[in-house]
Amino acid sequence: MDKLRITGGSPLNGEISISGAKNAALPILCAGLLTADTISLSNVPKLNDIATTLKLLSQMGVRCDRSQDNAVSITADQVTTLEAPYELVKTMRASILVLGPLLARFGEARVSLPGGCAIGQRPVDQHIQGLAALGADIKIEHGFVVARAKRLKGAVVRTDMVTVTGTENLMMAAVLAEGQTVLENAAREPEVVDLAELLIKMGAKIKGHGTDRIVIEGVDKLHGASHRVCPDRIEAGSFLCAVGAAGGSIVLRDVAPDTMGATISKLQEAGIKIECGSDWIKAGMTGRPRAVDVRTQEYPGFATDMQAQLMALDAIADGTSVIVETIFENRYMHVQELIRLGANIDIDGHTAVVRGVTRLSGATVMATDLRASASLVIAGLAAEGETIVERIYHLDRGYEKMEHKLRLLGANIERITS
């Protein structure tokens, strides 16, 4: 398994491009199942999760063509199976996103239950209840979600909590349903909006995306479209935390600052000087960050996907900070590893109290999940001496060539391929 070797102490300087958003690309690829025409996508990040999704779609008979320049085309004109097998779904729970499109277009789907993951149990009960509300005959059999529907029927669907992929699954199911569907308590994430924009280009009738009430008028058929995947606001936020920890001055290109309000204001509070244009962010940091408190919330609040990265910054900040993770029940797997680097953190349920230390010291640490990996890399950039981050296959799921981009910015970091 690959590792990263980081020697801390080098400030970051220079300019990099941010990749397309993993969490937009994943549902967008699955939306290709909704038509026999070709969907042509650009700015699709080269990530393991994307590769897994393309493998899953190909196994279903979907033609997936990936060119060198982050372009992907999807043609689902010869789908041969309506099943998403456990072997693939267990490696990437976002595979559940084929459920809605398969049901909407083919009236049938058999998708393995994803199972939990390091950050939490992550059930899909809201996906199932929502599809049942749209008229699907849906049940769990031998670890699979088995769903059938002659044609889904529009309805008002209110999820018990805000669920990003739940909203995406239900939106993709509703676009071909008969009549009107209203999704209440819908997720407002920019990645949900990006999916809706693609669906509208494909002929779907959607209003209210980006708000907590999405109204969909079902249509009989969707057609092909072209779409550029939106920028990855979490990758961009991770690099902002990195310059906050390591110091220096960087420019991020191909970003959407207007989707990063909560992150930008929190990092400015921590002392990072941030300037934004329409598609770029300039960030500079000298001296020690200030400790900042945060409560993770659904968009437009501070993203749970940014919590671990901010904690790495707070670990070396001047002062004590309180972090509350309100979305997932077990998203503090990075804490024990940060403590190995010398951080002073106490966990009490969903709350972490971080007492900033002046210096972290390099050590061998183990990545446990995607954003925890980013947190450990950020901490390693600031730590004295050498840090080895093990099991970085977690990192490769969601960050395109992270060590390459950091090296471009002057970091002393290399991948050790075993």
| 93 labeled binding residue | yes
Tell me how far CA of residue 70 lies from CA of 42, 187, 255, in angstroms: 6, 27, 16
Question: Which residue number, 249 or 330, has a Cβ lying nearer to ligand EPZ?
Answer: 330
CB 413, CB 405: distance < 8 Å: no
CB 329 to ligand EPZ: min, Å? 7
Q: Is 276 among the residues known to form the active site?
A: no
In our burial notation (b when 16+ CB lie closer than 10 A, e otherwise), range 145-159 reads bbbebeebbbbebeb
C-alpha to C-alpha distance for 271 and 53, rounded to whole angstroms: 39
Q: Does 305 show up as a binding residue in the annotation?
A: yes
Least distance in Å: CB of 94 to ligand EPZ?
Answer: 4
101 is an annotated ligand-binding site residue: no
Q: How far is the CB of 164 from ligand EPZ (least distance, A)?
A: 4
What SS3 class is residue 216? strand
Q: Is 371 annotated as a binding residue?
A: no
321 CB neighbour count, 10 Å cutoff: 23
* Residue closer to ligand EPZ (CB basis): 45 or 398: 398
Q: How far is the CB of 24 from ligand EPZ (least distance, A)?
A: 8
Binding site for ligand EPZ (CB under 6 A): 22-23, 26, 94, 120, 122-127, 161, 163-166, 304-305, 327-328, 370-371, 398
Q: Report whether 11 belongs to an annotated binding site.
A: no
Provide the token pair at 198.
């693609």
Say if residues 44 and 65 touch (Cβ distance below 8 Å). Answer: no
Strand partners of residue 157: 183
With a CB cutoff of 8 Å and minimum separation 6, the contacts of 308 are 331, 334, 371, 372, 374, 375
Cβ nearer to ligand EPZ, comparing 35 with 238? 238
Between 138 and 291, CB nearer to ligand EPZ: 138
Q: Of 64, 117, 241, 276, which one is the catalytic site residue?
A: 117
Q: Which residues are annotated as part of the binding site for phosphoenolpyruvate?
A: 22-23
The annotated binding site for UDP-N-acetyl-alpha-D-glucosamine is made up of 93, 122-126, 305, 327
Residue positions in the annotated binding site? Answer: 22-23, 93, 122-126, 305, 327
